[in-house]
């Protein structure tokens, strides 16, 4: 996610509960993933869990990007009106 997108997320999450929830989940997953990046060796179970967490994090980012895209589209429509 680019910096301008991160800034917009922080701005919009004050009024958008779904975006706020997705952002909080994203931060939580980021912390959980850091545990795996510091390990010297990952067991098969660790690798599976790390992959699951990465997929969950990516799904959340996709949802946040949809919200941002919809917000930007509504701003363009408002400016055109």
Q: What pLDDT does 53 receive?
A: 98
pLDDT per residue rounded down to tens, the chain (81 residues): 788 898 999 999 999 999 999 999 999 999 999 999 999 999 999 999 999 999 999 999 999 999 999 999 998 888 887
CA distance linking residue 7 with residue 79, whole number of Å? 21
> Per-domain residue ranges for the chain?
3-80
Q: What pLDDT does 61 receive?
A: 96
Q: How would you write the chain as a 3-class SS string?
A: CCHHHHHHHHHHCCCCHHHHHHHHHHHHHHHHHHHHHCCCCCCHHHHHHHHHHHHHHHHHHHHHHHHHHHHHHHHHHHHHC
Q: What pLDDT does 33 receive?
A: 97
How much is the pTM? Answer: 0.85
Nearest of 25, 4, 27 to residue 12 by alpha carbon: 4
């Amino acid at each position: 996610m680019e910096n301008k997108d991160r800034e917009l997320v922080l701005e919009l999450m004050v009024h958008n509960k779904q975006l706020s929830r997705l952002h909080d989940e994203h931060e939580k997953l980021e912390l959980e993933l850091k545990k795996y990046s510091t390990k010297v060796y990952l067991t098969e179970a660790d690798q599976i869990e790390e992959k699951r967490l990465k997929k969950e994090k990516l799904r959340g980012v996709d949802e946040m990007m949809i919200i941002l895209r919809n917000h930007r589209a509504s701003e363009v429509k408002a400016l055109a009106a």
